[in-house]
Amino acid sequence: MATPVAAPGGAVAAGENRRFKNQLKKVYTWYTGGFILFLIALAIAEQMGLPRSIIGYVFLLATVGLYAGIGVMSRTSDAAEYYVAGRRVPALFNGMATGADWMSAASFIGMAGSLYLLGFNGLAFILGWTGGYCLVALFLAPYLRKFGQFTIPDFLGARYGGNIPRFVGIFAAILCSFTYVVAQIYGVGLITARMSGVSFELGVFLGLAGILVCSFLGGMRAVTWTQVAQYIILIIAYLIPVIWLSVKITGVPVPQLVYGKVLEKVGQREEQLLKDPKEIQVRDIFKQRAADASAKLKDVDKSYAEGKAALTAAVTKAETDNAGVAAVDDAKKALEAYPKDAAAAKAAWTKDTGLAARAAPPLRHAEAFPGKDEAARDVSRRNFLALVFCLMVGTAALPHILMRYYTTPSVRQARESVFWSLFFIFLLYFTAPALAVLAKFDVYTFLVGSEFSKLPQWVASWQRVDPSLLSIVDINRDGIVQLAEISIGGDIIVLATPEIAGLPYVISGLVAAGGLAAALSTADGLLLTIANALSHDLYYKMLDPHASTARRVTISKVLLLVVALIAAYVASLKTADILFLVSAAFSLAAAAFFPALVLGIFWKRANKWGATLGMIAGLGITFYYMATTQPWLRGVFGVTGSIADHTWWGIQAISAGLWGVPMGFVVIIIVSMLTPAPNRDIQELIEHVRYPNLKGDTVNTLGT
Amino acid sequence: MQLTTKQQEYWRKNLRITGILLFIWFVATFVMGFYARPLNEINFFGWPLAFYMSAQGSLIIYVVIIWYYARYMNNLDRVYDVEEAEDE
């Protein structure tokens, strides 16, 4: 990777910037071409008989090796290079890097699946995770670039004066980034394990090695150039299978333009399936099983004894009646399958009550805010809008994203860079809903109604790999697949698309490599954010302001290693409700940072105490709401009483930022009005960040 | 330092365009979302309209908002003489 050395810390001459950009274009064009050739070569090798396990290994080693190579070539110990890639990243490339930084394993693997399962309501994620960039563009990116230091707490510290706002910023940055990075490392472990066949725990640490080679030696500079490479891989990996599936179903290779017609057909099929007597029969069986289980749960010991006695009696009866060997065997098997003790029975029955969910009729994919009555629909709509709000504001407040806009050469390019960021993110996000609809069409028309003896090959192989992703059981024993008999996990939609579309195994390997790229790139950005908050903000700015550059960068590297190991350890425990933690990060970031950052730029009167208390209040109320309404956190904090008692206005825990963000704004405004206005220096700093180049301006905030 | 009238006008224009674009963003997101059920009655090339907007239409509006803001402001920098010197 070509990353010529430039004058550290400052702006470089225009000519040099242009040369650098042209060189980057050349390098990444060759890279993309090379990657496609690599794919073709592997596909040919597969046709000639290269086994699948080898293909998985080749992908894993080739891509991680590539990232490592970029990481090693970009090693640096210069502060501006390490923290902000020397501020030489052109808008277009910063856009790609932001895209990879932004799109995590959840976006890549989980998104289309969530849309498949949730229908219209899942689109809250699509809207929220793209629309947030409008807020980044209008309120933050150009101003943060003009300010031009290294971290988000840097801005809080300079704008609000003193270490207290900075410290709250450090705390919040670590809180939201750490929960997020644990989920990424978890994803890395899963994918590595799947690609190479090692155990999950080993996969976590192998993946960790992949993350560290990128970020450890070269900090932001290495992460930036790997993220660009990772974006190219992940977008190719996402688009190829969807385009292929679209050709198979619609005959048109632009799924995004034509899936409206497919959605219509899915709608017609849904109406048939809602009325189909066999479907209703299967749903009734589930309803019955769930009802039986809850009846038994009323007196576990008694029902357990009764059940066991009945089965034992059946065995005896079969034996004494001479009913035949087969009948006796069946009765014995049933007895063996019976839970060993009352506690096991209780667990099994509690699980069975969950079958009630499968007794529900399938949702209509395009219906907005389904509900049984007007009130339920209202609550659903409210939660949809609240979630969109939290995800958007959270997007515009996550430090690892905002930090990327420090790396462009100018304010001008920072603005353009937000456009490129959203453009590259858009490419994936407007494809995911199309994939969900195409996959649904395939399942509803080809899988449902087929015979159990003739299931497609991909169904059999995924049932074997992971029953939680896909399991089909002939509940009503008619030999035909009913929709209600299919239990599907969201992640399978992206993972199995190549096979559904009938593509060679190479493409499945490519999809896994894309998922790995998405998870690794996000993890890199997050780890860097945490390590920088600790080394730059906490150590250098607060504890030892006289530390030399080399010392600061070394400390940052050591901390990166420590944080990565802790995160990997937490991920390998597999304990917490990780999906919830990711969404929690958005609400927490939104409440902590957005009001303080925006008012810091747009309202000169906002002061130290207002910002400090506003951040604490916003974080506090968001956290309080989550702790009282989210099942896992309720367990941790021992909250009693029903969830409904604690919810306000029917809003779910995932959207707790709906309370935190306004709270932050209100507290900052009120407290600032009650305390003295910021001094002259800070007023001038605000003017400094508002203008890309203010003549007569003596303020210089550029970090070195 | 004291800002000149021209500089103050630059900031006012910035606030104005920010407000206008924010309003469009709000309509494309929350007003559209609020009326999703009635909007879904309208068929748009096979998609129910609100589904289309949430899956694609509003996203395109977001991209255009950001593109327009960058273009407008980069131009405004030049007109009001606040653009950076050392850039390509």
Residues 6+ apart with CB under 8 A from A175: A588, A592, A619
What is the DSSP track for A125-151?
Answer: HHHHHHHHHHHIIIIIHHHHHHH--S-
- Is any Cβ of chain B less than 8 angstroms from the Cβ of A131? yes
The Cα B8–Cα A432 span in angstroms is: 44
* Residue percentage of chain A with pLDDT more than 70: 97
Per-residue model confidence (pLDDT) at position A575: 62
- Is any Cβ of chain A less than 8 angstroms from the Cβ of B84? yes
In chain B, the number of structural domains is 1
Long-range contacts of A696-699 (CB under 8 A, 24+ apart): A696/B1, A697/B1, A698/B1
**Confidence band for A327, pLDDT divided at 50, 70 and 90:** confident
Contact B70 A429 (CB under 8 A): no
Q: Is B87 within a domain?
A: no
Q: Is B50 within a domain?
A: yes
Contact A385 B87 (CB under 8 A): no
Q: For residue range A279-291, what is the model confidence (pLDDT) as tens digits?
A: 999 999 998 888 8
Per-residue model confidence (pLDDT) at position A18: 86
Helix (H) or strand (E) holding A488: strand A486-488
Per-residue model confidence (pLDDT) at position A576: 59
- Is any Cβ of chain B less than 8 angstroms from the Cβ of A690? yes
pLDDT at A568 over 50: yes
Q: What is the mean pLDDT of residues A349-354?
A: 81
B 45-74 residues inside an 8 A Cβ radius of A:
45-48, 50-52, 54-56, 58-60, 62-63, 65-67, 69-70, 73-74
Q: Which amino acid is at A676?
A: P
The Cα B22–Cα A137 span in angstroms is: 11
The SS3 call for residue A470 is: strand
**Confidence band for A582, pLDDT divided at 50, 70 and 90:** confident
The Cα A622–Cα A496 span in angstroms is: 37
Q: What is the mean pLDDT of residues A198-217?
A: 81
Contact A131 B81 (CB under 8 A): no
* Residue percentage of chain B with pLDDT more than 70: 97
Contact B67 A419 (CB under 8 A): yes
The Cα A552–Cα A561 span in angstroms is: 14
Contact A377 B37 (CB under 8 A): yes
Which of A620, A671, A255 lies closest to A435 in space, CA to CA? Answer: A255
How many angstroms separate the CA of residue A129 from the nearest CA in chain B? 10
Q: Which amino acid is at A53?
A: S
Q: What is the mean pLDDT of residues A267-278?
A: 92
Helix, strand, coil shares of chain A, percent, nearest 5, are 80, 0, 20
pLDDT at A3 over 60: no
Q: For residue range B11-51, what is the model confidence (pLDDT) as tens digits?
A: 999 999 999 999 999 999 999 999 999 999 999 998 999 99
Q: Is B49 within a domain?
A: yes
Q: What is the mean pLDDT of residues A88-112?
A: 92
Contact A134 B46 (CB under 8 A): no
Helix, strand, coil shares of chain B, percent, nearest 5, are 75, 5, 20
How many angstroms separate the CA of residue A495 from the nearest CA in chain B? 21
- Is any Cβ of chain B less than 8 angstroms from the Cβ of A696? yes
- Which residues are bridge partners to B47 per DSSP? B44
**Confidence band for A410, pLDDT divided at 50, 70 and 90:** very high
* Residue percentage of chain A with pLDDT more than 90: 49
Give A686's contacts in chain B (Cβ within 8 Å).
none
Contact A381 B88 (CB under 8 A): no
In eight-state DSSP terms, residue A533 is: I
How many Cβ atoms sit within 10 Å of the Cβ of residue A268?
10
Give B74's contacts in chain A (Cβ within 8 Å).
412, 415-416
The SS3 call for residue A55 is: helix
pLDDT at A15 over 80: no
Q: Is B63 within a domain?
A: yes
Give A693's contacts in chain B (Cβ within 8 Å).
77, 82-85
A138, A139, A207, A405, A420 from B66: Cα distances, Å: 8, 11, 35, 14, 9
In eight-state DSSP terms, residue A360 is: S
Inter-helix orientation angle B58-79/B5-26, to 10°: 170
Contact A687 B37 (CB under 8 A): no
Which of A56, A332, A81, A98 lies closest to A196 in space, CA to CA? Answer: A56
Q: What is the mean pLDDT of residues A300-315?
A: 84
Q: Is B22 within a domain?
A: yes
How many Cβ atoms sit within 10 Å of the Cβ of residue A303?
19
How many angstroms separate the CA of residue B27 from the nearest CA in chain A? 12
The Cα A526–Cα A395 span in angstroms is: 14
Per-residue model confidence (pLDDT) at position A6: 39
Q: Which of A17, A137, A409 sits opposite B66 (nearest CB)?
A: A137
Q: What is the mean pLDDT of residues A665-680?
A: 95
Residues 6+ apart with CB under 8 A from A398: A176, A177, A180, A585, A586, A589
pLDDT at A273 over 50: yes
Q: Which of A409, A422, A433 sits opposite B55 (nearest CB)?
A: A433
Inter-helix orientation angle A123-135/A374-395, to 10°: 40
pLDDT at A69 over 50: yes
Which of A502, A497, A449, A445 lies closest to A470 in space, CA to CA? Answer: A497
What is the DSSP track for B44-60?
Answer: ETTEEHHHHIIIIIHHH
B 18-47 residues inside an 8 A Cβ radius of A:
18, 21-22, 25, 28-30, 33-34, 36-37, 40, 44-47
Q: What is the mean pLDDT of residues A565-580?
A: 77
Per-residue model confidence (pLDDT) at position A14: 67
A 342-401 residues inside an 8 A Cβ radius of B:
366-369, 377, 381, 384-385, 388-389, 392
Helix (H) or strand (E) holding A611: helix A608-629
Evaluate whether A444 touches A273 at the Cβ level (below 8 Å).
yes
Per-residue model confidence (pLDDT) at position A583: 80
Number of residues that make up chain B: 88
Q: Which of B10, B58, B66 sits opposite A133 (nearest CB)?
A: B66
Helix (H) or strand (E) holding A486: strand A486-488
Give A684's contacts in chain B (Cβ within 8 Å).
1
The Cα B70–Cα A418 span in angstroms is: 9
The Cα A273–Cα A167 span in angstroms is: 57
The Cα A213–Cα B28 span in angstroms is: 42
Q: Is B25 within a domain?
A: yes
Evaluate whether A22 touches A14 at the Cβ level (below 8 Å).
no
Contact A260 B44 (CB under 8 A): yes
Residues 6+ apart with CB under 8 A from B27: none
Per-residue model confidence (pLDDT) at position B3: 87
The SS3 call for residue B43 is: strand
The Cα A247–Cα A255 span in angstroms is: 8
- Chain B residue with minimal CA distance to A683? B1
Q: Which of A18, A256, A264 sits opposite B46 (nearest CB)?
A: A264
Contact B65 A134 (CB under 8 A): yes
Per-residue model confidence (pLDDT) at position A60: 84
Give B37's contacts in chain A (Cβ within 8 Å).
368-369, 377, 381
pLDDT at A626 over 50: yes
Per-residue model confidence (pLDDT) at position B22: 97
Contact B30 A377 (CB under 8 A): no
Give A120's contacts in chain B (Cβ within 8 Å).
36, 40, 50-51, 54
A 396-425 residues inside an 8 A Cβ radius of B:
409-413, 415-416, 418-419, 422-423
Q: Is B85 within a domain?
A: no
The Cα A407–Cα A305 span in angstroms is: 69
Instruction: Choose from A118, A377, A383, A693 for mutation: most chain B CBs within 10 A.
Output: A693
Q: Which amino acid is at A311?
A: L
* A2-16, A608-622, B70-84: least confident range: A2-16
Residue B67's domain comprises 5-79
Contact B55 A123 (CB under 8 A): yes
Contact A430 B1 (CB under 8 A): no
In eight-state DSSP terms, residue A535 is: I
Quick one: A320 exposed, middle or buried, by C-beta within 10 A (0-12, 13-18, 19+)? exposed
Q: Is B68 within a domain?
A: yes
pLDDT at A198 over 90: no
Q: What is the mean pLDDT of residues A625-635?
A: 85
Q: For residue range A517-544, what is the model confidence (pLDDT) as tens digits?
A: 998 899 999 999 998 888 888 888 888 8
* Average pLDDT over chain A, rounded to an integer: 88
Per-residue model confidence (pLDDT) at position A697: 80
Give A424's contacts in chain B (Cβ within 8 Å).
none
Q: What is the mean pLDDT of residues A15-27?
A: 89
Contact B37 A368 (CB under 8 A): yes
Backbone angles phi, psi at A161, to 5 degrees: 70, 120
Which of A530, A703, A689 lies closest to A599 in space, CA to CA? Answer: A689
Whole-prediction pTM:
0.91
Residues 6+ apart with CB under 8 A from A181: A523, A526, A527, A530, A563, A567
How many Cβ atoms sit within 10 Å of the Cβ of residue B46?
16
Task: Extract the tokens encoding A243.
Answer: 């385009």
Q: What is the dihedral of CA A547, A551, A553, A555, to 10 degrees?
A: -100
The SS3 call for residue A13 is: coil
Q: Which of A124, A137, A264 sits opposite B69 (nearest CB)?
A: A137
Evaluate whether A660 touches A586 at the Cβ level (below 8 Å).
no
The distance from CA A549 to its chain's CA centroid, rounded to whole angstroms, is 34
Q: What is the dihedral of CA A153, A158, A159, A160, to 10 degrees?
A: 80
The Cα A213–Cα A222 span in angstroms is: 9
pLDDT at B88 over 70: no
- Chain B residue with minimal CA distance to A120? B51
**End-to-end alpha carbon distance in chain B:** 29
How many angstroms separate the CA of residue B32 from the nearest CA in chain A? 10
Per-residue model confidence (pLDDT) at position B32: 96
Per-residue model confidence (pLDDT) at position A578: 64
Backbone angles phi, psi at A142, to 5 degrees: -65, -35
The Cα A133–Cα A151 span in angstroms is: 19
How many angstroms separate the CA of residue B5 from the nearest CA in chain A? 13
In sequence order, what E strands does A533-636 have?
A: none
Q: For residue range A374-408, what is the model confidence (pLDDT) as tens digits?
A: 999 999 999 999 999 999 999 999 999 999 999 99
- Is any Cβ of chain A less than 8 angstroms from the Cβ of B10? yes
A31, A81, A197, A215 from A212: Cα distances, Å: 22, 17, 22, 5
Contact A368 B1 (CB under 8 A): no
In eight-state DSSP terms, residue A451 is: B
- Chain A residue with minimal CA distance to B27? A131
* A178-182, A232-236, A320-324, B19-23: least confident range: A320-324
The Cα A146–Cα A132 span in angstroms is: 21
Q: Which of B46, B47, B62 sits opposite A133 (nearest CB)?
A: B62
Q: For residue range A153-196, what is the model confidence (pLDDT) as tens digits?
A: 999 999 998 889 999 999 999 998 988 888 888 888 877 777 77
